[in-house]
């Protein structure tokens, strides 16, 4: 599916908006400034105040080392991908932009993303990147983005609850976690052994741990018996054992971190983002982290990666690459990830910052090598929506898991066929 088909699939409203943007004469910095410098635009989504300050500092450092370039930061605070796609259609998109690994395959397929192979030199050292995160931005041998940061999932556990229950260490296998969760659950106090968001993006690695595939050749295949068998224990902990619950069931909205911090869950499977959240919101909480329990004897976790990509229609590709090279180089990445809000995708930077030995972040870094990146081709968004809609009904006990996933698979494949 090339850009023409993608454009028509985006709908009339997007096309009208793109035309309006084009008519407004927004050149996104595709002209030299009065000072003779080349202005390039970087688009990304917003973050907390500390992250915003860090990014501005990194960009300022880049401009000092590259005095011929001015970087204009464009923050898209809402509906990031919709806005980005509309701008790409209208020819008004930034030169460089954030690209989530989850969205990468579909956007790469349109031709809107510039391959970076010809810009990368040996000195840039691609081997320094965590391989799963780097591969997430590849299509065959072509590299379409460079991962700027990531987070895996780790097991967060409440040390006080563990001690009171006589549990000396976090569970190392899923079977151990089921046993431990029973000891930690007190339904009268609304305390559950495991707090969990029942979403495929949290358990994709688990779904494929018995040899099944969630997606095969672009089609949903998650109703396969091997997939059902692999994730049935998740449902059983909630329905049969009653040792697991969702955040919404204890009034914590959709935040497993909130559920954990309030003491409604003794364990949660969360990412790096949970550490600063707990530090700010529940500073007195005594907790630890560990690698996720193994499933069927195999280590596994998820990884959520974001990269920098170049607009294939940028008029300043040389300068755009200089920016990407700096931001994903050792110096720029070290400063950007120094506060620990995100983990560096370069192994050397993680080591320099001590994250690989950090008491809380160490297990998250350890998971990078074997993580399943949250990405599986351009049909994944459709698969995700249909899976999650029906899996929730099984998780809540409204219908058998196999039946729910069969219906979800059929609907997902109907929607996928329409897009072809």
pLDDT, tens digit (0-9, with 9 covering 90-100), for 196-215: 999 999 999 999 999 999 99
> pLDDT-derived band of residue 243, with 50, 70 and 90 as boundaries?
very high
Total domains present in the chain: 2
Confidence of residue 3 (pLDDT cuts 50, 70, 90): very low
Q: Confirm whether 261 is domain-assigned.
A: yes
In this prediction, residue 36 carries a pLDDT of: 82
* One domain for residues 197 and 253: yes
201: containing domain = 153-302+376-419
Place of tokens 């932009």: 97
pLDDT on residue 33 = 59
Q: pLDDT at residue 6 above 90?
A: no
Residue 5: predicted pLDDT:
42
Mark whether 279 and 312 lie in a shared domain: no
The answer for 343, left when phi > 0, alpha when psi is -120 to 50, beta otherwise, is beta
pLDDT beyond 50 at 336: yes
Instruction: Give the pLDDT score at 121.
Output: 96
Instruction: Report in angstroms the alpha-carbon separations of 18 from 86, 111, 174, 238, 349.
Output: 6, 17, 49, 47, 40
**How does the average pLDDT of the chain come out, rounded?**
92
Please report whether residue 229 resides in a domain.
Answer: yes
Q: Are residues 228 and 241 in the same domain?
A: yes
Task: Evaluate if residue 380 carries a pLDDT over 90.
Answer: yes
Asked if 43 and 81 touch (Cβ cutoff 8 Å), the reply is no
Which tokens belong to 196? 């969990």
Residue 212: give its domain's CATH number: 3.40.190.10
Residues 169 and 144 in one domain: no
Instruction: Assess whether pLDDT exceeds 60 at residue 17.
Output: no
Looking at the structure, do residues 326 and 208 belong to the same domain, yes or no?
A: no
- Phi, then psi, of 374 in degrees rounded to 5: -70, 85
Sign of the dihedral through C-alpha 88, 90, 91, 95: negative
Distance CA 212, CA 235 (A): 18
- pLDDT tens-digit map of 18-41: 333 333 333 444 455 566 899 999
pLDDT of residue 51: 86
Asked if residue 54 belongs to a domain, the reply is yes
Q: Which of 283, 290, 318, 304 is nearest to 368 (CA)?
A: 304
pLDDT category, 49, cuts 50, 70, 90? confident
Domain membership of residue 7 (yes or no) is: no
Mean pLDDT score, 70-93: 95
Over residues 258-302, the pLDDT tens digits come to 999 999 999 999 999 999 999 999 999 999 999 999 999 999 999
Q: 241 and 192, same structural domain? A: yes
Please, what is the end-to-end C-alpha distance for the chain in angstroms?
Answer: 8
- The reported pLDDT for the residue numbered 30 is 45
pLDDT, tens digit (0-9, with 9 covering 90-100), for 136-182:
999 999 999 999 999 999 999 999 999 999 999 999 999 999 999 99
Is it the case that residue 15 has pLDDT exceeding 60? no
Are 211 and 283 within one domain?
yes
**% of residues, the chain, pLDDT over 70:** 92
Could you tell me the pTM of the whole model?
0.89
pLDDT of residue 274: 95
> Do 252 and 322 fall into the same domain?
no
Q: Is the pLDDT of residue 113 over 90?
A: yes
Comparing CA positions, the residue from 267, 258, 263, 247 lying closest to residue 197 is 247
Domain contains 21: no
**pLDDT confidence of residue 86:** 96
pLDDT band with cut points at 50, 70 and 90 for residue 48: confident
In-domain check, residue 287: yes
Q: Are residues 50 and 139 in the same domain?
A: yes
- Angle, in degrees to the nearest 10, between helices 49-65 and 317-327: 120
For residue 4, tell me if it sits in a domain. no
In a domain, 165, yes or no: yes
């Amino acid at each position: 599916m090339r850009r023409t088909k993608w454009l028509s699939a985006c709908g009339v409203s997007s096309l009208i908006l793109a035309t309006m943007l084009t008519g407004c004469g927004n050149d996104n910095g595709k002209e030299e400034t009065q000072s003779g410098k080349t202005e390039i635009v970087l688009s990304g989504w917003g973050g907390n105040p500390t992250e915003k300050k860090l990014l501005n500092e990194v960009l300022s450092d880049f401009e000092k080392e590259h005095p011929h370039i001015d970087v204009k930061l464009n923050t898209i605070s809402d509906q990031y991908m919709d806005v980005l796609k509309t701008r790409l259609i209208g020819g008004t998109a930034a030169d460089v932009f954030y690209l989530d690994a989850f969205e990468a395959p579909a956007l790469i397929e349109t031709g809107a993303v510039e391959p970076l192979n010809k810009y990368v030199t040996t000195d840039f050292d691609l081997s320094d990147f965590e391989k799963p995160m780097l591969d997430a931005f590849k299509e065959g041998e072509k590299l379409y983005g460079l991962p700027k940061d990531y987070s895996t999932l780790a097991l967060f556990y409440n040390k006080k609850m563990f001690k009171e229950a006589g549990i000396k260490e976090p569970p190392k296998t899923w079977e151990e976690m089921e046993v431990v969760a029973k000891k930690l659950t007190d339904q009268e106090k609304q305390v559950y052994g495991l707090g969990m968001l029942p979403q495929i993006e949290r358990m994709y690695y688990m779904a494929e741990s018995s040899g099944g595939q969630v997606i095969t050749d672009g089609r949903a295949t998650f109703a396969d018996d091997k997939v059902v068998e692999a994730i049935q224990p998740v449902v059983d902990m909630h329905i049969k054992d009653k040792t697991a619950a969702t955040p919404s069931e204890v009034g914590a909205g959709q935040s497993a971190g909130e559920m954990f911090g309030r003491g409604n869950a003794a364990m949660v499977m969360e990412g790096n983002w949970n550490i600063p959240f707990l530090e700010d919101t529940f500073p007195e909480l005594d907790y630890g982290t560990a690698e996720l329990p193994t499933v069927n004897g195999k280590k596994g976790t998820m990884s959520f990666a974001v990269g920098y990509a170049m607009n294939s229609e940028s008029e300043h590709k040389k300068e755009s690459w200089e920016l990407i090279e700096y931001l994903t180089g050792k110096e720029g990445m070290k400063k950007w990830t120094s506060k620990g809000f995100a983990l560096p995708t370069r192994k050397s930077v993680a080591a320099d910052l001590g994250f690989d030995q950090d008491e809380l972040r160490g297990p998250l870094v350890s998971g990078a090598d074997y993580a399943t990146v949250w990405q599986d081709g351009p049909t994944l968004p459709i698969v995700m929506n249909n899976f999650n809609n029906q899996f929730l009904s099984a998780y809540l006990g409204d219908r058998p898991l196999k039946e729910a996933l069969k219906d979800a698979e059929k609907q997902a494949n109907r929607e996928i066929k329409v897009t072809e």
